[in-house]
Structure 1
Amino acid sequence: MTLGFAGMTTLLLALKATPLPDQSFLDPTRIETEQGSVLSEWTLRGVRSEQVPIDQIPIQLQQATLAVEDARFYQHHAVSPRSMFRALLVDAKSGHVVEGGSTITQQLVKNLFLSQERTITRKVREGLLSLQLELHESKQDILTQYLNTIYYGHGAYGVGAASRLYFGKPVSELSLAESAMLAGLPKGPSIYSPLLHPEAAKDRQRLVLNRMVQVGALTQEQADAAFTQPLHYHTAQDPTASAPYFTHTALEEAKDHFHISSDELYRGGIRITTTLDPVLQQAAEHAVVSTLPKGSSIQAALVAIDPQTGAIKAMVGGKDYATSPYNRAFAERQPGSTFKAILYTAALQHGWTPAEQVNSELTTFLYDKSKLYTVHDYGEFYAHRPLTMREALARSDNVYAVTANLDVGPQTVIDQARKMGVTTPLQPYPALALGVFPTSPLQMATVYATLANGGYRIVPHTVDEVRSSFTGSVQQFGTEKDKTRVIPEAVAFQMTDLMKSVLGPGGTGYKIHQYMHGPAAAKTGTTDTDAWMVGYTPKLVCAVWVGYDSNHPLSLDEEHLAGPIWAKFMGTAQQRLPSDWYRPPLGLEKRVIDPVTAELATKNCSTTETDYFTPGTAPKEFCSLHAEQVPEEHQVEKTPWWKKWFWR
């Protein structure tokens, strides 16, 4: 017995002499924007807590916490054998883990120094560190740290953040009823959340109040009065982080791409430099909120990418992360006519030119020798004349698209889609041309980036660099090796030039051109349940989707919501990232044609379009309807031989 006493004394002296480990919450994992401003500071379970002095925490909240979590906190020394024995009896009676038996000191140690793994080794360390903590700090300091560290749900750590989240007030102003509600949350923040499960939360509040009566902190009358007091919950946005959809994506990417373990993120000391541009992110969020109708359950997603590097500059995954954290930037929905950018990219590489004409009228196609497919244009509006590719893109003509699809071959189009970034399932059907096979806004942004950067497939990403203060390692995202040419530069330019017409007079995006501050290439897309707009400038690609999570059909007004969101955002982006417009690559031939005949225009042609052709593919004949005078741009200058000699 003497040896045991001597051994315990030696252990306690050693623990007293040994400094406590660094506290992880003092050096959190930090997620930063590309400019270095802090988006969020994370542990594995969320952001840092708001620190509140103990004299600002109501005594009733302290008593409620002690009553339900550790009634003998001021009597035991770090570990409570009585609580552990009681927990074992309750767990055995229930057949599963109901109570953990941990004291407040043990819970604090787990939050400050240890991972959440359940092993005997960790439990032993927990006990020793708990003893050490009580040797180094007073009970009052431990309770203060506990109340400022424990998780209360919805991203709120500590009573300060929890009070503002749930009740919209400083913790010092909490009532007994509110204090009892908060004190019941740490046992199961998601189970007892009053925002998600109000009945379970009230049951938990009753249990807390009853425990306060049992330990003598309240009378039964006070407990009953507090239980019947109405509670008014605050509906402020979840304080998880700025740009929450983006931030959570970046956190997962850091774990997957840079092989950062959850334990490393939890312990802190990690600096994650993201690709986010705060100005563009704010513009994206504003565009979504200001455009979607108030009170509607309709949702939206927006993804903006640097086409040169694949860096995601802005991301919105829904209207409100607090009520719906599901990131719709990754949701697979029918892209509609935005898929035509892929189709015509394939067509231009397989014999089609901008001057190719297809008659716009209700058409039934024969395919696979015996199958029939009838194509309808939106609203049954047909031009009832041959259209060029530029006109077909601007009007979003479906007959032209299906004709091109069947001519070059659906499998060829699928192969092109794969090269440009579509990874979702596609089938070689005529309707492939109309975007009936679901894909995500992020994939469509990747597709259009190959056109915006001159033909290179990029890898979209949210994290540029990860630094560890513990190991000193620095990991960076390698952009150059991840760029692969998949489209000829000339074809990328042709598509860019053709899609400028979507925002021009007669184009499906013309109504939103007032938001823009310069040229852009884009394509609209509409299905019964999805509205899209995807487009770009030389420095930024943006994909927008609007629809219902339930696939509820869109109304006529809702079908046109994606365009304004896209244009409001891209108008800001043009001011934020000014750039010169594209120049045609060497070798392309610029021609002015009459779209009615698809022949070279003359001075008498009232309507013309300017297109670019690869060598040998441009029209050679002048307009047969207006062939009286050849315009200057088509006249061949007869230069004297001596000028050719001296000025060549």
Structure 2
Amino acid sequence: MFRWSRLVQTLLSVLFLCFIVSAVALFALFLYLRAQSLPVTTVTQTSQIFDIHDEVIDSFHGTNNQNRHIVALKDIAPTLVQATLAIEDHRFYEHWGFDPRGMARAVLKDVKTLSKEQGASTITQQLARNLYLTHDRTWTRKIKEAMYAMQMEMQLSKDQILEQYLNQIYYGHAAYGIEAASLMFLGKSSKDLTLAESALLAGIPKGPKFYSPYLDMKNAKDRQKIILEAMVKYDYITQTEADQALHETLNIIPKKEEQSVEAPYFRDYVKTLAIDKLGINDTAFDAGGIKIFTTLDLTAQRVAEKAIAEQMNSKDELQVALIAIDPRNGYIKAMVGGKDYNTNQFNRVFATTRQPGSSFKPFVYLTALANHFTVLNQYKSEPTEFTYDDGKKTYTPNNFDDQYEKTEIDMRKAIAKSDNIYAVHTIIDVGADKVIEMAHKMGITSELKPLPSLALGTFPVSPFEMAGAFGIIANQGIKAETTAIIRIEDSQGHVLYEDEPEKQQVVEAPYTYVLTNLMQSVFEQGGTGYRVANIMKRPVAGKTGTTDTDSWMVGFTPELSTAVWVGYDRDRSINSLESRKAAPIFAEFTEGALSAVPPKLFEVPADVVNVYIDPVSGKLANDACPDSRMEAFVMGSEPTEYCAKAIGNEPTNKGNDHNNSSWWNNLKSWWND
């Protein structure tokens, strides 16, 4: 008896010692786990580019192609949270990272079946596995999983763990996290999910290939029913609510097929700007969850692509570039760098190897107007040999098809007809250096040389430069820096970059308005753009340009400045048919992009006067000179003499908006009218 008493006492002592050792070991393990940092992980998020109306242009999922949009737990529908807890881990808020009862049942079943198939993982364990471990079915992995789960429970709150879990789990079809899944399957944010939608989505992570509504709607609905029953069992909802949800019609968004990216040339340009100029690194751009809000208008972009597709033959090598800018703020509204991005990603909008031809002439005439020229300056349109460089050199330009007026013409006709002789006369008289200075002020950065041929656009520029420069003319001489990115936000909504618009008056408004008025003649009868005048339903100004290898149409309305180039990449000559493609692309795009905008007149600055002139004499017109036309002048440069003495009355000029006569004469004129 004594022996058994000593044996029991010894056994109890050993058991007590084991308990103490185990307790110390567990405490030491607790201190160790608490002191250790969790492994560093990188959770990729989908970065997105938006147009000016917050429509998605493109999304980037990183090299692992994980479509993920991280959201806070408070921004997820409570029904989705409850559905997930009910089916995955209803004791989540009670355990310490793993459920001993569940693990015991799993181990017993594994031993009984000699397998490792039973899961019984808590939400914390699932998160630990997804973040730090593989999905191998081994007991070693399960032990590590439990250790990491305990460590996470020590260092994170329950809500933090649940939030990470709901942003991490896989819902199939490259969608990771509930927000990406909700947007993909239902086209709505996870905060707006109904009970029925929540129960459906909560069932997918169990087996995305089996329960995805895209792959098997019956399986998805069966799983939804199980989840609703679990929610009733654990008192999240009533049976009535479950029955109603089960019979609710679900609006599943059709699965999107692989589509070509919208505005791909613009997308690439924005990426280059963000990385090279704004300091956004590649990783953040591709998978950092950043949001880039741009100036592009996808409606205008689609109109541009449609206009180009209608004019260009997809089979030949002829290429195209289009860029449209809002002259009022410099915002890029549309950009097409070629007719097929899939076959060639080179963005011709920025190619500085294109001779602008006659589309360069507005810089010559703007310089002339700013140096005391007016529309009335005349030169004879005839074959002419020009001398320059102190008479050491000669230059003999030709008009298109050797067509000449053979008489004196003024600036309006020279612009409308694109007369080369008049342009060269002008640049020689005003000075090529001044023209270059003006072009540089207007944003032309390409190299220009002070030669007579400069007037005919013989020095290459890019469509990007031309659209921006013509935008200054449209904006009354105010240069608004060309802009593509309005704002960049990180995944938390913090602003990383915000555009600070810069505007500068580089040319006085009266000169740009007078030039605009003259450039409208390009689309009038006899003008080089007249063949597309029937397409244009609003005031528009512009200039065509054609060389042996390039065709241009650059023009503007008060709301849009657009440059269109057509040609070959390798300076191959274009034929007459190919040279006619730029203008209709411009016209169709301009009208389509502005279809919702009422036509608007170009605003007349204060220091501009409009008077009727006699085209023959260049003097003010009155009743004695019936063949008159109205012209705009910078105040003080308008003619003051009349073409002839008026018939039966004092000379009058009813078109003068800023009449220089006295108030008494104005009153008499009004009375006589």
Whether 1:408 and 2:430 are equivalent positions in the alignment is yes
Whether 1:448 and 2:466 are equivalent positions in the alignment is no
Query: Does structure 2 conserve the Cα–Cα contact (< 8 Å) formed by 1:602 and 1:628?
Result: no
For 1:341 and 1:292, the matched residues in 2 are separated by 28
**SS, match of residue 453 in structure 2:** helix
The AA in structure 1 aligned to 2:373 is W
For 1:312 and 1:412, the matched residues in 2 are separated by 29
The AA in structure 2 aligned to 1:351 is H
2:53 is aligned to: 35
1:242 is aligned to: 262
For 1:556 and 1:326, the matched residues in 2 are separated by 25
For 1:49 and 1:471, the matched residues in 2 are separated by 18
**SS, match of residue 572 in structure 1:** helix
Deviation of the 1:297 alpha carbon: 1.1
1:305 is aligned to: 325
Deviation of the 1:600 alpha carbon: 2.2
For 2:666 and 2:454, the matched residues in 1 are separated by 57
For 1:439 and 1:565, the matched residues in 2 are separated by 20
The AA in structure 1 aligned to 2:388 is Y
For 2:596 and 2:347, the matched residues in 1 are separated by 26
Residue 534 and residue 412 in structure 1: after superposition, are their counterparts in 2 closer, same or farther (change >3 A)? same
- Greater alpha carbon shift after TM alignment, 556-565 vs 453-462: 453-462
2:368 is aligned to: 347
Residue 582 and residue 364 in structure 1: after superposition, are their counterparts in 2 closer, same or farther (change >3 A)? same
Whether 1:374 and 2:403 are equivalent positions in the alignment is no
**SS, match of residue 534 in structure 1:** strand
Alignment of 1:355-434 (within 5 A): 355-369=376-390, 370-434=392-456
- Superposed CA deviations along residues 86-118 of structure 1, whole A, max 9, x for unmatched, are xxxxxxxxxxxxxxxxxxxxxxxxxxxxxxxxx
1:253 is aligned to: 273
The AA in structure 2 aligned to 1:519 is P
The AA in structure 2 aligned to 1:243 is A
Deviation of the 1:634 alpha carbon: 6.7
Alignment of 1:34-73 (within 5 A): 34-43=52-61
Residue 622 and residue 484 in structure 1: after superposition, are their counterparts in 2 closer, same or farther (change >3 A)? same
For 2:607 and 2:498, the matched residues in 1 are separated by 38
Which structure would you say has the larger Rg?
A: 2
Deviation of the 1:520 alpha carbon: 0.5
**SS, match of residue 533 in structure 2:** helix
The correspondence for 1:295, drawn from 315, 321, 333, is 315
For 2:548 and 2:644, the matched residues in 1 are separated by 41
* TM-score, reference length from structure 2: 0.64
**SS, match of residue 575 in structure 1:** coil
For 1:242 and 1:478, the matched residues in 2 are separated by 27
Deviation of the 1:289 alpha carbon: 0.6
Query: Does structure 1 conserve the Cα–Cα contact (< 8 Å) formed by 2:324 and 2:560?
Result: yes
For 1:534 and 1:269, the matched residues in 2 are separated by 38
Deviation of the 1:258 alpha carbon: 2.5
* TM-score, reference length from structure 1: 0.66
Residue 473 and residue 639 in structure 1: after superposition, are their counterparts in 2 closer, same or farther (change >3 A)? closer
The correspondence for 2:597, drawn from 568, 577, 589, is 577
For 1:522 and 1:546, the matched residues in 2 are separated by 16
Deviation of the 1:606 alpha carbon: 5.8
Deviation of the 1:573 alpha carbon: 2.8
Query: Does structure 2 conserve the Cα–Cα contact (< 8 Å) formed by 1:597 and 1:624?
Result: no
For 1:547 and 1:625, the matched residues in 2 are separated by 54
**SS, match of residue 440 in structure 2:** helix
Query: Does structure 1 conserve the Cα–Cα contact (< 8 Å) formed by 2:522 and 2:542?
Result: yes
- Greater alpha carbon shift after TM alignment, 350-359 vs 592-601: 592-601
Q: CA RMSD in A?
A: 3.8
1:282 is aligned to: 302
Residue 527 and residue 263 in structure 1: after superposition, are their counterparts in 2 closer, same or farther (change >3 A)? same
Consecutive unaligned residues in structure 1, runs of 5 or more? 1-8, 51-127, 150-171, 173-236
Query: Does structure 1 conserve the Cα–Cα contact (< 8 Å) formed by 2:610 and 2:655?
Result: no
The correspondence for 1:526, drawn from 532, 538, 546, is 546
Deviation of the 1:240 alpha carbon: 5.9
For 1:396 and 1:352, the matched residues in 2 are separated by 18
Whether 1:486 and 2:544 are equivalent positions in the alignment is no
For 1:291 and 1:305, the matched residues in 2 are separated by 21
Alignment of 1:70-109 (within 5 A): none
Residue 642 and residue 507 in structure 1: after superposition, are their counterparts in 2 closer, same or farther (change >3 A)? closer
For 1:375 and 1:523, the matched residues in 2 are separated by 19
**SS, match of residue 654 in structure 2:** helix
For 1:640 and 1:433, the matched residues in 2 are separated by 47
1:123 is aligned to: none
- Superposed CA deviations along residues 365-413 of structure 1, whole A, max 9, x for unmatched, are 1111221111211111111111111111000011111111011111110
- Superposed CA deviations along residues 5-55 of structure 1, whole A, max 9, x for unmatched, are xxxx99x999x995883531xx211101111111111146697679xxxxx
Deviation of the 1:598 alpha carbon: 2.1
- Greater alpha carbon shift after TM alignment, 560-569 vs 350-359: 350-359
2:524 is aligned to: 504
For 1:556 and 1:238, the matched residues in 2 are separated by 39
- Superposed CA deviations along residues 395-446 of structure 1, whole A, max 9, x for unmatched, are 0011111111011111110000000010010000000000010000010001
Residue 634 and residue 251 in structure 1: after superposition, are their counterparts in 2 closer, same or farther (change >3 A)? closer
User: Identity percentage over the alignment?
Assistant: 36
For 1:374 and 1:279, the matched residues in 2 are separated by 46
Query: Does structure 2 conserve the Cα–Cα contact (< 8 Å) formed by 1:41 and 1:47?
Result: no
For 2:312 and 2:626, the matched residues in 1 are separated by 41
**SS, match of residue 543 in structure 1:** strand
Whether 1:270 and 2:290 are equivalent positions in the alignment is yes
For 1:576 and 1:642, the matched residues in 2 are separated by 41
The correspondence for 2:581, drawn from 561, 579, 593, is 561
